[in-house]
A and B are shown apart, each in its own frame.
Chain A
């Protein structure tokens, strides 16, 4: 079973920030939080990951709570192309592509 819980769907207005929450209350101390997204009928795309510090890259920001039991993926200026299913995954070190996918959050960005 997936170790994470996400809302099944969210809407966001184009140009606004999209904040996607994820609960991972049973995360272990050596497990990372990864985010991937899947545009319809394509392979998943890696977005960002983190252990305990907040992380930012050219695609998104990841905010992890101090107790590490939840996190939020932030797309700062959502575009229509960001419409996809977003997966929050907890993964251990050296686990590569051994990922346990839940059902993710379907984000719809609307004009």
Chain B
């Protein structure tokens, strides 16, 4: 089945540790995106990549880092510099062309204790 896979679904980390969230897609999409969602809120864009080996900051990039070494993969690292890392993280992909819509993964719920 084609789609976007985020793993794991739930992740727990201790404060001060970096953690990397996985996002893989087999839709052959050029563009990939990371969003953060806090309880009762809409999604906010963290980082996005429109092509391999290139990425741009979104609205809330501080405390996060990404890489895009392969077309199908766009991992997000939540660093210890992120002040409030506990959140629901969603990955999306799109062709990025014209009117094409975005497809979302099922999310990773990160809890930092």
Given contacts A97-B48, A98-B48, contact A103 B42 (CB under 8 A): yes
Return A1 CB to nearest CB of chain B, in Å: 10
When the two chains form their complex, are residues A43 and B42 in contact, meaning their CB atoms are under 8 A apart? no
Return B37 CB to nearest CB of chain A, in Å: 8
Q: In the complex, which residues of chain A have a beta carbon less than 8 angstroms from the beta carbon of B50?
A: 96
- Number of residues on chain A facing chain B (CB within 8 A): 23
Given contacts A42-B106, A43-B104, A43-B107, contact A93 B99 (CB under 8 A): yes
Would you list which residues of chain A between 38 and 55 have a CB under 8 Å from chain B? Answer: 41-46, 49
Q: In the complex, which residues of chain A have a beta carbon less than 8 angstroms from the beta carbon of B58?
A: 98
Neighbour of B99 across the interface among A41, A44, A49, A97, CB < 8 A: A49
Given contacts A41-B88, A43-B105, contact A96 B42 (CB under 8 A): no
- Number of residues on chain B facing chain A (CB within 8 A): 33
B93 an interface residue at 8 Å Cβ cutoff? yes
Total A-B Cβ pairs within 8 A: 67
B96-107 interface bits toward A, Cβ cutoff 8 Å, 1 = contact, 0 = none: 111111111111
When the two chains form their complex, are residues A46 and B103 in contact, meaning their CB atoms are under 8 A apart? yes
When the two chains form their complex, are residues B104 and A96 in contact, meaning their CB atoms are under 8 A apart? no
Return B61 CB to nearest CB of chain A, in Å: 13
> For residue A32, which residue of chain B has the nearest CB?
B99
Q: In the complex, which residues of chain B have a beta carbon less than 8 angstroms from the beta carbon of A43?
A: 4, 90, 92, 104-107
Once the chains are docked, how many angstroms separate the CA of A46 from the CA of B58?
21
When the two chains form their complex, are residues A46 and B42 in contact, meaning their CB atoms are under 8 A apart? no
Return A27 CB to nearest CB of chain B, in Å: 15
When the two chains form their complex, are residues B42 and A97 in contact, meaning their CB atoms are under 8 A apart? no
When the two chains form their complex, are residues A97 and B43 in contact, meaning their CB atoms are under 8 A apart? no
When the two chains form their complex, are residues B42 and A93 in contact, meaning their CB atoms are under 8 A apart? no
When the two chains form their complex, are residues A104 and B42 in contact, meaning their CB atoms are under 8 A apart? yes
User: Which 5 residue pairs of A and B lie closest in terms of their CB atoms, listed nearest first?
Assistant: A101-B42, A97-B102, A43-B104, A96-B94, A96-B96
B: which residues have CB within 8 A of A?
4, 31-33, 35, 40-45, 48, 50, 58, 88, 90, 92-107, 109
